[in-house]
Amino acid sequence: MGVSGCGKTTIGKLLAEHLGGFFVDADDLHPEANRDKMSHGIPLNDEDRWPWLGVVSSVVQQHTGLRPLVLACSALKKSYRDRLSLGKSQIIHLCGARDIIEYRLSARQDHFMPSRLLDSQIDDLEEPEEAIIISVDNTPGNIVDQISRQLIKI
């Protein structure tokens, strides 16, 4: 979890590969209306997010099997994380300095989320109480290693 641009997709794909699991990017599940809204610089509100989170929750609930599921999802508010019905899943919060994340957002190409919406995400962010907190101020490989070491401790 984390604000847009923190590396959820990059780290999630690498972590899923490292764990031999499946990767799901919640951004891929946004309805077109949400994508259009964000691409025009309009932040989503709870009414926009709630149905999308229901779809994401369904994907999580349908996952069965021995291979872990790694989900990349902003999950900015506690109510959103509750809506996802994650059960005993481990939340990993990717966080970092605003300027680093803003730079990453502005450098992305072909993504619907513009950097000018970062402040709205930061405003909505409710830090999770029980999560592995990982700074994004490192290489993706090192971040995955840090996460893996933390998961072993749990």
Write down the mean pLDDT value for the chain: 89
Question: What is the per-residue pLDDT across 74-123, written as a single tens digit (0 to 9) for each?
Answer: 999 999 999 998 888 899 999 998 888 887 877 766 766 666 678 888 88
In a domain, 62, yes or no: yes
In a domain, 64, yes or no: yes
Which pLDDT belongs to residue 39?
Answer: 83
Domain ranges, residue 21: 8-153
- Average pLDDT for 9-32: 96
In a domain, 3, yes or no: no
What's the CATH number where 94 sits?
3.40.50.300
d(CA 41, CA 21): 34
Indicate the pTM of the whole model. 0.88
In a domain, 2, yes or no: no
In a domain, 52, yes or no: yes
Q: What is the CA angle 53-57-62, rounded to 5?
A: 150
Which pLDDT belongs to residue 99?
Answer: 86
In a domain, 134, yes or no: yes
Q: What is the count of structural domains for the chain? A: 1
In a domain, 125, yes or no: yes
